[in-house]
Amino acid sequence: MTRAKQLLLTVVLAGSIALGCKPEVGQAPSLITDYALLAVKGDPAEAKPDENVVYSFLLASPEGTVTDTTAGWDVCETPKPPAESNSVAGACNPPEPGAATGQTFAAPVLTKACMLFGPIAPPVATGQPSIRPRDPDSTGGYYLPVRVKFPDLATGSLTGFAFERISCNLANAATDLVAEYDKRYQPNNDPGIATTDVSRADGSSFNLDSGSPTIAPGESVVFQATFADGSAETFPVLNPTGDALVDQTEDLYMSWFATSGSFEHDRTGVAGTQTATSTSNAWRAPGTAMPVYLWLVLRDSRGGTAFRSYSIQVTQ
């Protein structure tokens, strides 16, 4: 892994991006061996232009959650040119730390966000070709990039982006569909992790929210995370032919991280077509005694984020 860490780790979710340290070849993405930016969360998860949003981050390290550092923050104002293949415009990733610093960052959604990053075509300069507006993702969403940078970590710098979902008007639809959409659509709320339990092979279980369990070296256990009520929301989306609204229910995806041991899966989840209210993952403890730090990052398909941090003692 290089020390100048500016490598995009793209989460395969609509509008959700986290940036972290690229793992060594053959190393599972769930294994934390250096500083890693696991999530950046906007509150609220979806906002209208000029509405204020408060951003926070989850920064992990081999010693646990990092809570004693600040970051540089910027709201990106440059749409990605068609010729660029990255998820954000190169102009959104300058070398300076950022315009604001802090463990959290409050800023309004850009007034012109739906023009720069959404369905409204920007004005055309004289003699120039028209500019095509942005296409929505599969949930009908548009996203504003917000940059967070840690320039002075012990092993180098680290940069990432949050994608804040923008509430824009429904485009390319008949007047009656626009009116129905405005009546039915509810802005996205962040999902939640209600509880996390660990189960042993002998059938016993322990609630991680109640304390740090003791697990034997090499022991295999199963973690089960239960979603908070209402985490998977239902919302209308314009169908591909543009002549009707169809209901979608959010997918929920859980990314799992730990400083040692091995997960069966780096990511698990529940599709919107399913009714499960929890997700689980098997984990094998390391073969030697040590403290292990665990992180769960839950995302919904409209860009909402939730996370939890835990510690486990592996001992004889």
Angle at the Cα of 46 (from 269 to 150), degrees rounded to 5? 80
Burial 29-67 (b: 16+ CB within 10 A, else e): bbbbebbbbbbbbbbbbbbebeeebebbbbbbbeebbbe
Rounded-to-integer distance, Cα 99 and Cα 73, Å: 6
Residue-wise pLDDT tens digits, 244-295: 999 999 999 999 999 999 999 999 999 999 999 999 999 999 999 999 999 9
Q: CA torsion 209→254→139→234, rounded to 10°? A: -40
pLDDT computed for residue 220 by the predictor = 97
248-to-232, 267, 274, 277 alpha-carbon distances in Å: 10, 22, 12, 17
The single residue listed with the structure tokens 């660029």 is: 84
Rounded-to-integer distance, Cα 249 and Cα 264, Å: 27
* pLDDT, averaged in runs of 10, over the chain (316 residues): 31 34 68 96 97 97 94 91 82 78 94 94 73 88 95 90 95 94 96 97 94 94 98 96 96 98 97 95 97 98 97 93
Residue 195 amino acid letter:
T
Give kind and range of the element (H or E) at residue 176.
helix 175-184
Supply the pTM of this predicted model.
0.88
pLDDT computed for residue 105 by the predictor = 95
pLDDT computed for residue 11 by the predictor = 30
pLDDT computed for residue 91 by the predictor = 86
pLDDT computed for residue 10 by the predictor = 30
297-to-23, 39, 84, 131, 181 alpha-carbon distances in Å: 18, 7, 29, 37, 30
For the chain, the structural domain boundaries read 8-314
Q: Are the C-beta atoms of residues 206 and 312 closer than 8 Å to each other? A: no
Exposed/middle/buried for residue 244 (C-beta within 10 Å: 0-12, 13-18, 19+): middle
Rounded-to-integer distance, Cα 257 and Cα 62, Å: 11
pLDDT computed for residue 148 by the predictor = 94
